[in-house]
Structure 1
């Protein structure tokens, strides 16, 4: 396929693969698309090692870095001050969930490591993003930076352009997309409410053409519910010039999920991907679990805002992960999770999406 997106980045197909795991980003990139690594949660020295490895394994191909320029973060508090900074009601509620589930306390070495790391929510702040970008600009194959939660400041866009890096931003409405355009971005990712992670309220079928019309001639990637070649063809028909996918990779053999969590994703239905504020303080779509069920119970406290909610739940989520308490672990998931039926490789998923898209487009052409 050849269009403005493939020409802009020198890639074979306009499929962008969002992930928290470098290996997934590498595989999507080497399959002809562009892997997009969520970088805000890594420590600076860790990110440097990761990008150096990605440079080597992608063999000169470009990749994307996803960051979180949140418009409203709230006060970021060190984990060491958690007990003083948070309401006792919320702390007691979280502890009760863990105690009732029999989840062990954090090992001392893990707790010490978390105290040394940047505070929960720091990656959403402008300071935290700038720390990431200082590393990103040293890696020429990082050709695209996407702001996933808000408009990037114009001075940041200018700085990245100065390094030859294209800049994009994610939008959940046409109004948001126009703010991003005014900041000087090169493309927009229009993310429908079906998507995993932080989303708006407008569905993809409605949102994609609205954003395309609003920001023309800026190119648009379609996100939210994309997991097959038919979805890609639909996105192209609605005016997008490529797609941004995240959930569909989570059932792959290379994904960051544990074997038990991967089984949960394969068994999940579309309606099991629910939107709640329990993990970050902002609406986030993820897989329903006993953790979300507990927060849904009558009498549960209201979630705190970002970044206080992240400070509240960070130790709890780590304890659940270490205990491999899959029934309590949700992870981000879009409604397209219902399409994950078995464990496949990233290469197989990419090949299937490409071939199905071609078949659909050829079939529609013959029909017309």
Structure 2
């Protein structure tokens, strides 16, 4: 469809971020590019998932999404050895924060997890320096078309190693100056993530951010992310200068997604205002479902969110308790404001084809308007 598609070997400039390999493979088979998020996976799990994608994506390209935060509790404390990381991080969680979470559990009558569950590792390894490098080492052993840094600029060594393997590197940004910095690092694709987006996102809306980032990126292609789930929205992004769209939330309710039926029904009922940009999940601003958990941690009277990954450790542990107890008021997760337009369950293939069809229809409608203007 355009130069970027030709360079990546895909038909449509639709990039689909998902933690589910089935969604990733389905989108790639349909002509877009599925991108697998691996932040919560161990190196062994990553190897299994990427081998599966190589065998089930129909020979089509796929991408991998990592996180490379500049500041986390382990990095700031100089902890570079992964051995015993869980225990050292747990020791950094203040008693007042754990007690605050316990008070919230008592308010909703959420019991502790049974002892039979054993010790749980609530750290997402990809948020830490040691764990992230272990993940990247495995990722670089596999063949894929795009490696994306979702949180912070990719390290220079990562850009070099990826380029040596013929892999393009992408980076998510929320401000124009971040785009310029990534271009200097040699990043091949800038993903411009606006305020409307799910997960870690900035403060600027897409109508302003996309053209700013396009101008800052120069000749480097830009993907628009945030609030995009239809062909009309795709056309708007492309008209602002983007060469493609980066999507995430719309795949949460597709048939291939692993969500439970009650989770899907909840998403289908949600409005854009049912989401909130909050530090309550990871310690960094993250758009997610508005819940009693987000309200509690955003309350000025509370102790405030901890730095990454300490806040995530609290979130993961206490969310697991709430899920087991069936207390949905406390259970959330990342989702963008586009959730208001997610009104039915479809296959990933149908979502891709529907976006492309509506995109072309929008272009035709705009062309007709241009003809009418010039004739007048």
**TM-score w.r.t. length of structure 2:** 0.91
The match for 1:104 is 111
Q: How far off its partner does 1:324 sit? A: 4.2
Q: How far off its partner does 1:83 sit? A: 5.7
What are the Cα deviations for residues 271-313 of structure 1, in whole angstroms up to 9, with x where unaligned?
1111010111110000111222333446322111112212332
The match for 1:362 is 364
Q: How far off its partner does 1:87 sit? A: 1.4
Distance 1:163-1:298 versus aligned 2 partners, 3 A rule? closer
Q: How far off its partner does 1:253 sit? A: 2.3
Mapping of residues 136-147 of structure 1, within 5 Å: 136-140=139-143, 142-147=144-149
What are the Cα deviations for residues 115-140 of structure 1, in whole angstroms up to 9, with x where unaligned?
3xxx6253123433321222222222
Q: Distance in 2 between matches of 1:78 and 1:126?
A: 10
Q: How far off its partner does 1:47 sit? A: 1.2
What are the Cα deviations for residues 39-74 of structure 1, in whole angstroms up to 9, with x where unaligned?
121011111111111111102111010010101112
8 A contact 2:124–2:309 mirrored in 1: yes
Q: How far off its partner does 1:81 sit? A: 5.1
Is there any run of 5+ residues in structure 2 with no aligned partner, and where? 371-376
The correspondence for 1:94, drawn from 96, 101, 104, is 101
Is there any run of 5+ residues in structure 1 with no aligned partner, and where? none
Q: Distance in 1 between matches of 2:117 and 2:64?
A: 27
Distance 1:287-1:206 versus aligned 2 partners, 3 A rule? same
Q: How far off its partner does 1:99 sit? A: 2.6
Q: Distance in 2 between matches of 1:4 and 1:126?
A: 35
Q: Distance in 1 between matches of 2:29 and 2:112?
A: 41
Q: Distance in 1 between matches of 2:20 and 2:105?
A: 27
Q: Distance in 1 between matches of 2:90 and 2:48?
A: 33
The match for 1:11 is 10
Residues matched between the structures, number = 362
Mapping of residues 38-53 of structure 1, within 5 Å: 38-53=37-52
The match for 2:21 is 22
**TM-score w.r.t. length of structure 1:** 0.93
What SS is found at the alignment partner of 1:262?
helix
Q: How far off its partner does 1:196 sit? A: 0.4
The match for 1:125 is 128
